[in-house]
Amino acid sequence: MSESLMVSAVDIHKSFGTNEVLKGITLEVKRGEVMCLVGPSGSGKSTFLRCINHLERINSGRLMVDNQLIGYRESNGKLHELKPSEAAAQRVGIGMVFQKFNLFPHLTALDNVISGMIRVQKIDRTIAIAEGTELLRRVGLADKLEHYPAHLSGGQQQRVAIARSLAMKPKLMLFDEPTSALDPELVGEVLDAMKQLAQSGMTMIVVTHEMGFAREVADSLVFMDGGVVVESGDPEEVLRSPKHERTRAFLSKVL
């Protein structure tokens, strides 16, 4: 795997029982690249994202992040699954933001952000508070440090979730439809936080239905359908003149 690559996925297959969800996904994401995955529901986008940090086991293929095999080690040409603790250690370097915010309801915004820093990374609480405060400022929530999730809007909660992921200093950020659970008027504030993150050079893979965001922020756009990559390329090109009939049919419904 090249030094310039952050993610290398080669012929990834994943089934749930008899349902083959991923049918040979091959993708590369360069360092600092923002890749958007689009496609109809059930096309395998979220499953692929969950495979990247080994929340789902792949059935075959090879997934590497930052030149490291994810979820497995290789010995004598065979793959052996890592222990849960080893997989969890790998996962620390891969931030993930879900549709649902998954915040701890009994913790303030700041405590949600710093809990992993203190518990997992063993960072001194005073340092964690300073770093957590700065992260919340970056996502526009400097005035919400002591607010509990119940007193935050959905967009604010999702921005806390982004700050919490960034607190672990990930090298890669995965976003699984981060705006789909939000009221329309709250979507923009989350996308703005993600744009700033992209501008800072973070490598990002974003499953999204927000085509405007894909056009403006993504370096590459991948259209998935039926567990395969149908088409990929420059976002403007794919959106303006898709080569495949399936891509055209999908885009005609969402643009």
Q: What is the pLDDT of residues 185-195, one digit of tens each?
A: 899 999 999 99
Q: What is the pLDDT of residues 54-113, one digit of tens each?
A: 999 999 999 999 999 999 998 888 888 999 999 888 888 999 999 888 899 999 999 999
Here the tokens at position 10 are 């080669």
- Which amino acid belongs to residue 77? G
Residue 30, pLDDT above cutoff 90:
yes
pLDDT at residue 54, as a whole number: 93
Whole-structure pTM value: 0.94
Question: How would you classify residue 24: left for phi > 0, otherwise alpha for psi between -120 and 50, otherwise beta?
Answer: left
Average pLDDT over residues 140-150: 97
182 closest CA partner among 167, 172, 195, 192:
192
181 within 8 A of 99, measured Cβ to Cβ:
yes
Average pLDDT over residues 121-150: 96
> DSSP letter at 149?
G
